[in-house]
Every structure is written in C-alpha cells, then in structure tokens.
Structure 1
Amino acid sequence: MTEEITHLLVGGFGPLNGQTSPGIELYDLVESEADGGSPAGDCRLINRGLLADMPSPTWLFRDGQMLYAVLENSDQIASLRLGQSHGHIRLEELGRAATLRLGPTHAIVMADDLGVNHCLAADYGDGSISIHPVDAEGRVLDADQVLTAQGHGPLPAQAGPHAHWLLPLPDGRLLSTDLGADRVHIHRWQQGRLVRTNSLVLPAGTGPRDLTLLPTADGRIMVALVAEWANTVSLVDCGTGPNKGASGMASPPELEVVDLVDLGGTLMDDQAASMAFVSSRNSCRGMVYVGLRGSDRIVSLNWDGQHLRRLSSPDVEGWSGWGISSGGSRPRQIRALGSKLLVANEASNNLTVFQLAADGQPQEICRTPASSPTILLPML
C-alpha cells in the first residue's frame, strides 16, 4: 500500500462574522493505492491543526514562499512566510496591512509595467480596488493607491458597487468584477500606477462575481464569468491583447460576451458562487465546474477551446444536466486539483472531495468537518 499526501491550507469566516473559523488550518488529503497501482478506494481528509490564529482569513493566495491572507472582517491583508520544520509546514506572520477600504474579498500579487510587484485587493464594501506596495521581504504594506467605483443594480444586494474578483490577463491588463454595479472593469499599468481604461456593462441584475481564464489554441484571451444573481456563466472574448493606436499608446480592445450559459434555478433559490476549470489531458479542452448556493449543487459545462456549452438541459436529472450535490451547504469555493475537485461548503462546515471520471463526471470520494470554510489552497 502506497500513500500520496497533499497539504491543504484552509481559511474561512470566524467569530467576527458570527462563524467558527479559528484562522488558517492545515489539512492533509491522503490517497492510498494498493500495490501494483490498482486503486484501493481510500481517500481521507485529516485536520492537522491551526497554523495561524487570525480573524476571518476568507481568501488565501501564494507567491513563492510568501502566503497572503485576506482578513475580510478586519479590512486587512496578512503577510506570512512559508517554511518547513521536520517535514511540517510552518507559517511565520510578518505583519498586517490596512486596505483603507471595507470588506476585502479577493487579492492577488501582480507586477506593473515597470516590473514592480504590487498586492491588489477587491473591496466588496464600497467597490474599490486597493493597491499595496510589497517590500523586499515580501511583506504587504498599507495601500498607497485606491481606485473607487460608482453605480448600482436593481436588486437589494446591489444598492452600491461591490468589487469581488481580480484577474490578471496574459497581456498585462487586469479585469475586476463589480457585483453591485453589473460591470467588468478593464485596467492597465501606466508608470507603476493602475489606470481604469474601460468597462463591460452587463444586463441589470447580472451580479458578475468570479472570473477564470480558459485555454485557447488561437492566441485569443477567453474568460469565463460566473454571475451570482443571473445564475449564468458568460464566455468573454478579451481579444488578443492591447492594440497600438496612432499615438503608439496601448489601447485595450472592448470585451465581448460571445456565449451565455444558463445554470438553471431561480433568483429565489440560487446564487452562482464559484468556478473551476479542469483541462483534458493538458489540451485546450476541458470542463468548467460551477458551484451554486441555495440548491447546493455543482453544474458541469464543456469547453472545446472555442465555445462553452452545457452537456444537457438544466431540466435533465443527473450530473450532465441539473448537476450534483456539492456534498454540503453553501459551496463557497471549488478548487481543481489534478483529476479532483475540492469543495469548501461554508454553511455545513465541511470539505468535500470529488474524483473526476474520464468523461468529466464528478463522484464524491470523501468529506470531513471544517469550520466555516471559504478557501482551500493546495500546497503543490
């Protein structure tokens, strides 16, 4: 019997939000195989304990040996150094930086046009984007630039702008979603400062939430956009990169929605909340898996390198149509890990692992309790 172990860092909402996450915890995903390589059918998730005591680390992201935690309820970003001692993962907290804005939900590290790294945070509370310096030690400092937002949508949850997600594009542009104002904003760097250059305006009540890049063979930049309130996934064509105008300045092309996929359900019972892409044999084809809160299901979509399509109508029972159970309640995040899907079910306080068959069908293989999880990060 041989075992393969994948370390997972898990964070979530804590007592400041009326929930139970104690901070950043370490879990091991343990998979066993019988001698000779035949599956033993054994998969376990084991809680190895608390690595960092901090309030509501609802998003985690890694940059080399640095780990950054978005502390949503205290409007901060924590910087931690990853290390190992006697084979065990350790986290050393280096400091916390204020976003200067309310409710950061997502953050990334991105290099500007001068090659200098910045940490960018999407602030749900007022729709702004906070831009932070990163010092020589990898520590995030307090924000030194803020891009504000305006606008609203028709729904009660859209009374004002709500930034939710940030996605760097391969050509150096940055996209951000505004869940409150029904917009996807386009940005680029100019001499180390982030500038908003354009916006894609979506139908009222869409609620754009998360973005993920999809691989293509023709050089076009294609992005899947999950809409929380419309319960749809849009395929957004971002062109092939900035065009050069007569002035020689970069001028990003317009974004264009070229496919729109209905996930089924109604506004009253579903909110599309998370998304993951799994490639097929490292090709430009694969599957997009979408988590919906309310009906607590996972819907499977096919990506053929050009188009995003349902496998079956939403009224068809099973994984290819209506979808399957997320293995819990309120699937907050779906993470692809090889031929597996990892799901953080926030309201039911558990993690679920699915094995993906050759045709893309997910099959639950294990689950374990977890405290209000919203993010899981494999340490690969």
Structure 2
Amino acid sequence: MKHIFGYVVLSVFLLLLTSCKNTSKKSQVGLEEQPIQNKSLQLLVGTFAEGDGQGIYQLEFNPESGVLSNSRQVAVENRPGYLYLSKDGERVYSSNGTQPGSVSVFKWNKDKTALNKVGNLSSKGDGACYIGLSPDEDLLAAANYGSGGIVLYPVDQNGEILDDPQEIQHEGSGPHPNQKAAHAHCVQFSSNGDFLYAVDLGIDQILAYPITQEKKLGKAVVGLQLDPGDGPRHLIFNPTKNMAFVINELSSTVVSASVDPLTGKFKKIDKQSTLPADYEGKNSCADIHLSPNGKFLYASNRGHNSIAVYSVSDSGYLKPVTIESVQGDWPRNFTLSPDGNFLLVANKNSNNITVFQVDKETGRLKYTGNQINIPQPVCLKF
C-alpha cells in the first residue's frame, strides 16, 4: 500500500509539474506572438490655409514606418505660420502672419483633442513670422517680417503672454529688390539666455541683443554681417558647440559660423550654395536644420523644390553631399524626427507633407513614399 500511495503521489506531482511547464510555455509563446505596439508621435502643423480649413492640425507619426495618419484640425487660427511648444507640451504658441500681426497662446483641453486659445496679443507690426521662448520660458520674442521689427513679451508662470511688450524697429536696406527695408525674419535665444538674436533679411544682418537683469533687451551689436544681397532668413545653433548656421533666402546659400557666448558675436567659417551648379531657375531658400548628432546640415530650396544636404566637420566646414527632391512644391519648412531617422517636409503650394528616411552614416535622404495632404502646411513641430 505504501508503494502504491507513493506512486500515486509521484504521478500527481509529475502531472502538476508538466502542466506548469506547458502553461509557462504557452504564456511565453503568447507574449512573443503579440505584435510590438509602436507608440505614435504627435506632429503639429501650422498652415496658411483660409476659410474652414485654416488653423493648426495634429497628425500621428509612426517612428518605425514613417507613416503619417489621423489628420485633424485642433485649432482655428488665421495664418499660424510658426509654432513653438512649451517644454511640458501643455502650451502651443503661434506667430500669425496677418496685417497687423499677432501672437497667440493655446492650451490643450483635458483629453488632448483640441487647443483652446487663452491669449492673443498684437505683435506690434505686420506679418509676424517667427516666435521663440527663452530657456526659462519667461520671455517670448516675435519677428515681424512685413514691418521689419521685433517684439519681446514677459510670460507668466502659467505660460500666458503678458501685455507689456518691448518693441524695437530695425532700419536699413540692401541691394536686392526684396531689401528695400528691414525685414526681421527669425528670433533665437542663446542657450544660456544671455542674448536674443534677430535675423533680418532686409539689412543682411544678425543682431545680438543682450538681455538685461530686468528681462529687457539692451543695445544691439551686429552679431554677423552677411554679404550684400544674402538675405538671411533662419538661424540655428549646434546644441553642443559654440557654432551657428544661417540660411540665406536671396542668395541661396548657407553659412556656418563660430559664436562667442560672451560677446554674442559670430565669426564666419564657411559658405556654400544650396543649388546645383547648372540650375538657372528662380529660387528662394527657407528653412535649415542640423541632424541630432551634429554631423549633417539640411536646407530647403523653394523653386528648385529640394533639400540640400551637407556634412559638417568638427571645425564647422561644410561639404555638399546631395540635393534631394522634396516630392512637392514650395518647401517652406521641414523637421527631423526626434530620433533623427526621418525628415518631414511641409510643401505649401502642393498641400502635402512628405517623409524621407535619413541615412545616419551619410546624411542622404530616401523618399519613403509616405505623404499626407494638409492645406498649405508651413510649419512642422513634434
């Protein structure tokens, strides 16, 4: 009887052990078979659309496949040509290219399906085309292309723009027909918040304004004098080096420069064309971005409808790599995905956003075939 009882106990134990192993195997197989869910990134799009389609749109971007989907209008606004997102993602600021111009601030509703406008102020000029927040998010600057000046606002702890602006009007002109007067086109705060840089297309200058302890703009110095007729449009900084890059709208060129963080002044390093040597058509450059690793520079051509690609040496010299068609018309703005794997282009005149895969070793672009239609897209922000 003892032997029989022992056999029964042993049999039950083995049965339970086998059952547990099988269950474990099934669980593991089940987990392995579950598809990996790619978390979509949210992309905001500023537009120049009119009528019912005007405003800000939100899209979903798949960072694995590069597919854009689920387009929806999240705010109604007149010509929100440039967007700036707060660090916490709760607020969205827009410069509105109207006459007179204005700046707006939006906050997301509870379920993140719509942007509610909580503030709108005059930009103290015409055609506000660019805005930027200071590193501490306590100042907001805007550039007025039409009237050629800049404006600085205080921002409170809730992220709202206070109606206590400081206005500065630029003066001067240049040799190009589009330079009959000043045309401020971009404002960028230095990473330490000591300077506000204003890029003026009409006077071929980047002006460096020191920011005082009272959070006001001091007397400007010429940070960089561009060549006559260059028409500088946008400025970006290398995030890890004292280096800057400028795109010139009128001469279809890009410039690299070193930056003195104490004086705010630049020193030009290199200058390169954005166009093929044999191109004879009209062109005006628009946007410029640096790859996350700082090795490649990208610049957009409106007219030639392309992205020019350069490798960037450690000392800031630029070497042309390729010029890639944007698969659309009039690439006013473009952006790189946060991981640097994709480049997305907003083609204003063809009403589409096109997606390119980035080769991180060479910087080259390859069209993925992915695109989506949006009415007059002019600004892309992840």
TM-score under structure 1 length normalisation: 0.83
Give the Cα separation in 1 of the matches to 2:159 and 2:44: 19
Per the alignment, residue 381 of structure 2 pairs with 377
Query: Tell me, what secondary structure is at the counterpart of 1:77?
Result: strand
Residue 97 and residue 221 in structure 1: after superposition, are their counterparts in 2 closer, same or farther (change >3 A)?
Answer: same
Deviation at 1:276, TM superposition (A): 1.3
Deviation at 1:14, TM superposition (A): 2.7
Q: Which amino acid aligns with 2:380?
A: L
Per the alignment, residue 366 of structure 2 pairs with 363
Residue 299 and residue 307 in structure 1: after superposition, are their counterparts in 2 closer, same or farther (change >3 A)?
Answer: same
Is structure 2 residue 199 aligned with structure 1 residue 177?
yes
Per the alignment, residue 305 of structure 2 pairs with 296
Is structure 2 residue 158 aligned with structure 1 residue 137?
yes
Give the Cα separation in 1 of the matches to 2:219 and 2:326: 37
Per the alignment, residue 126 of structure 2 pairs with 102
**8 Å CA contact 1:343, 1:353 repeated in 2:** yes
Per the alignment, residue 209 of structure 2 pairs with 187
1:152-210 Cα deviation digits (max 9, x unpaired)? 11112111000011121224222111001111101111232102331122221000011
Deviation at 1:125, TM superposition (A): 1.2
Deviation at 1:31, TM superposition (A): 5.0
Superposed, 1:213-232 pairs within 5 Å as: 213-216=237-240, 221-232=242-253
Deviation at 1:215, TM superposition (A): 4.4
**8 Å CA contact 1:13, 1:21 repeated in 2:** no
Q: Which amino acid aligns with 1:207?
A: G
Superposed, 1:347-358 pairs within 5 Å as: 347-357=349-359, 358=361
1:317-376 Cα deviation digits (max 9, x unpaired)? xxx33x111121100111111211111011110001111123221111111111100011
CA RMSD of aligned residues (A): 2.0
Query: Tell me, what secondary structure is at the counterpart of 2:146?
Result: coil
Give the Cα separation in 2 of the matches to 1:336 and 1:31: 11
Deviation at 1:133, TM superposition (A): 2.2
Q: Which amino acid aligns with 1:27?
A: L
Give the Cα separation in 1 of the matches to 2:365 and 2:345: 12
Deviation at 1:116, TM superposition (A): 7.7
Task: Select the residue among 265, 277, 287 that pairs with 1:274.
Answer: 287
Residue 54 and residue 212 in structure 1: after superposition, are their counterparts in 2 closer, same or farther (change >3 A)?
Answer: same
Deviation at 1:44, TM superposition (A): 2.3
Residue 235 and residue 83 in structure 1: after superposition, are their counterparts in 2 closer, same or farther (change >3 A)?
Answer: same
Give the Cα separation in 1 of the matches to 2:257 and 2:40: 37
Is structure 2 residue 50 aligned with structure 1 residue 46?
no
Task: Select the residue among 306, 312, 330 that pairs with 2:315.
Answer: 306
Deviation at 1:211, TM superposition (A): 0.8
Consecutive unaligned residues of structure 1, counting only runs of 5 or more, are: 33-41, 243-251, 312-319
Identity %: 24
Is structure 2 residue 172 aligned with structure 1 residue 163?
no
Per the alignment, residue 139 of structure 2 pairs with 118
Give the Cα separation in 2 of the matches to 1:83 and 1:327: 35
Structure with greater strand share of residues = 1
Query: Tell me, what secondary structure is at the counterpart of 2:67?
Result: strand
Task: Select the residue among 101, 106, 121 that pairs with 1:80.
Answer: 106
Q: Which amino acid aligns with 2:291?
A: V
Per the alignment, residue 348 of structure 2 pairs with 346
TM-score under structure 2 length normalisation: 0.82
Consecutive unaligned residues of structure 2, counting only runs of 5 or more, are: 1-34
Q: Which amino acid aligns with 2:81?
A: T
Q: Which amino acid aligns with 2:354?
A: T
Per the alignment, residue 236 of structure 1 pairs with 257
Task: Select the residue among 262, 265, 270 that pairs with 1:254.
Answer: 265
Runs of 4+ in 1 over 4 A off after TM superposition: 265-268
Q: Which amino acid aligns with 1:343?
A: V
**8 Å CA contact 2:344, 2:355 repeated in 1:** yes
Residue 345 and residue 7 in structure 1: after superposition, are their counterparts in 2 closer, same or farther (change >3 A)?
Answer: same
Q: Which amino acid aligns with 2:39?
A: E
Q: Which amino acid aligns with 2:138?
A: N
**8 Å CA contact 2:256, 2:318 repeated in 1:** no
Give the Cα separation in 2 of the matches to 1:97 and 1:267: 43
Per the alignment, residue 314 of structure 1 pairs with none
**8 Å CA contact 1:231, 1:267 repeated in 2:** no
**8 Å CA contact 1:120, 1:129 repeated in 2:** yes
Give the Cα separation in 1 of the matches to 2:104 and 2:96: 7
Is structure 2 residue 228 aligned with structure 1 residue 204?
yes
Q: Which amino acid aligns with 1:184?
A: I
Q: Which amino acid aligns with 2:94?
A: A
Give the Cα separation in 1 of the matches to 2:106 and 2:73: 14
Structure with greater helix share of residues = 2
Residue 235 and residue 31 in structure 1: after superposition, are their counterparts in 2 closer, same or farther (change >3 A)?
Answer: closer
Give the Cα separation in 1 of the matches to 2:74 and 2:137: 30
Residue 132 and residue 31 in structure 1: after superposition, are their counterparts in 2 closer, same or farther (change >3 A)?
Answer: closer
Give the Cα separation in 1 of the matches to 2:94 and 2:264: 33
Give the Cα separation in 2 of the matches to 1:109 and 1:368: 29
Structure of larger gyration radius: 2
Give the Cα separation in 1 of the matches to 2:324 and 2:114: 36
Task: Select the residue among 55, 60, 63 that pairs with 1:28.
Answer: 60
Query: Tell me, what secondary structure is at the counterpart of 1:193?
Result: coil
